[in-house]
């Protein structure tokens, strides 16, 4: 069934949240008219480029039925940006792997997990929480917070250890691909737009344990700050005392700093090798026409990860956070993606 969202509704941001909210309400009316039980209807919201693993919907249903408090739970698979990973250029491919790995790490820590991109829940839950927010850019993470406060803290995202395959950013030319990659990351980082809502709701909902609210707010704030600063710290800040202070250069710490850095970097290389190995295990089959030498190029390209993390990680995050701070609010931006034929 297809529902067309009308244009020009006051107070709405033209984006995924407003469209989902409109379709959700229309669909609820349809379910009611047919006399169906909304508590037995599962809703999955997905991006246009999503390709589901063959057992995804079976797995969602299984987890849903096994949850006693199933109508206060979201079901979050692991987004894997691999549909066109062979065709994507180096920066786009590294950024895609970075996003996939981060979501895998978060899935291993369910107490931190927040809705992202594709996820599922019951129609009953969606209706009770007021469907989707229509006035935000990033509706996926806001949906988690909406449910958390709508159900007085009784909400959790359940990790589903199956992938949903998505497209890496890819355009007709290299420059446009890099530009679109930056804009996509900036829109994701604009998730800081939820922070005022989260804090004000935490104040209003006194029934939620204080520690639970504070820990979630602190975690969100820490993640946001580290997103925009961590890469800069790792690349530059460690060297600043040596460069700027004559007194520091004569200390024992300064003398041993190169030795300590060597040890840390050696350990980092071990982690990088493991990361490369894991990324290759997630590669889809090599398309026809792609030479085997491509594998070696995909190994070597990981050495530019520090630069990629700054230019397509920290800088767009700083951009998004500064825009919010100055009141230069963003709107929803759809990331153009293509799949080139070999």
Q: Give the Cα-Cα-Cα angle 182, 194, 113 (nearest 5 degrees).
A: 80
10 Å CB burial of residue 332 (0-12, 13-18, 19+) is: middle
Question: What is the pairing mode between strands 73-81 and 156-166?
Answer: parallel
The dihedrals phi and psi of 224, each to the nearest 5 degrees, come to -65, -45
Run means of pLDDT, 10 residues per run, the chain, 342 residues: 90 91 96 96 94 94 96 96 92 93 92 93 96 94 96 96 94 94 95 94 96 95 92 79 80 82 83 89 88 88 89 95 93 82 54
What is the spatial order of strands in the sheet that 51-52 belongs to?
Answer: 42-45, 119-122, 73-81, 156-166, 51-52
Burial code (b: 16+ CB inside 10 Å, e: under 16) for 155-168 equals bbbbbbebbbbbbb
pLDDT attached to residue 233: 82
Q: How many residues does the chain have?
A: 342
Contact 147, 43 (CB under 8 A): no
Residue 186, Cβ density class (10 Å: 0-12 exposed, 13-18 middle, ≥19 buried) = buried
Query: Distance between CA atoms of 212 and 208, rounded to whole angstroms?
Result: 7
List, in sequence order, every residue forming a beta bridge with 159; answer none if it has no partner: 76
Give residue 340's pLDDT.
66
């Amino acid at each position: 069934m297809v529902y067309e969202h009308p244009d020009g509704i006051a107070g709405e941001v033209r984006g995924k949240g407003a469209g989902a909210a409109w379709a959700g309400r229309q669909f609820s009316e349809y379910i009611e008219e047919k006399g169906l039980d909304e508590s037995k209807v599962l809703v999955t919201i997905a991006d246009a480029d999503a390709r589901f693993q063959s057992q995804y919907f079976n797995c969602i249903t299984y987890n849903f039925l096994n949850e006693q408090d199933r109508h206060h739970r979201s079901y979050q698979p692991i987004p894997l940006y691999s549909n066109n990973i062979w065709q994507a250029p180096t920066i786009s491919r590294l950024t895609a792997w970075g996003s996939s790995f981060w979501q895998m790490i978060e899935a291993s820590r369910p107490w931190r997990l927040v809705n992202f991109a594709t996820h599922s829940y019951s129609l009953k839950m969606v209706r009770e929480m007021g469907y989707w927010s229509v006035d935000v850019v990033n509706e996926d993470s806001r949906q988690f917070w909406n449910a958390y406060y709508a159900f007085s803290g009784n909400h959790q995202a359940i990790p589903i250890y199956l992938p949903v395959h998505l497209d890496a950013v890819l355009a007709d030319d290299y420059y446009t691909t890099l530009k679109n990659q930056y804009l996509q990351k900036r829109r994701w980082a604009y998730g800081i737009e939820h922070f005022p809502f989260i804090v004000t709701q935490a104040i209003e909902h006194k029934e939620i344990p204080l520690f639970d609210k504070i820990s979630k707010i602190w975690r969100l704030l820490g993640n946001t700050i580290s997103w925009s600063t961590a890469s800069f710290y790792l690349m530059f800040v460690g060297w600043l005392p040596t460069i700027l202070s004559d007194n520091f250069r004569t200390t024992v710490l300064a003398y041993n700093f190169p030795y300590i850095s060597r040890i840390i970097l050696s350990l980092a290389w071990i982690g990088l090798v493991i990361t490369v190995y894991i990324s290759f295990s997630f590669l889809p089959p090599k398309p026809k026409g792609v030479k085997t030498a491509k594998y070696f190029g995909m190994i070597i390209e990981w050495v530019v990860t520090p630069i990629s993390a700054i230019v397509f990680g920290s800088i767009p995050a700083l951009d998004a956070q500064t825009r919010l701070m100055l009141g230069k609010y963003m709107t929803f931006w759809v990331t153009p993606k293509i799949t080139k034929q070999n």
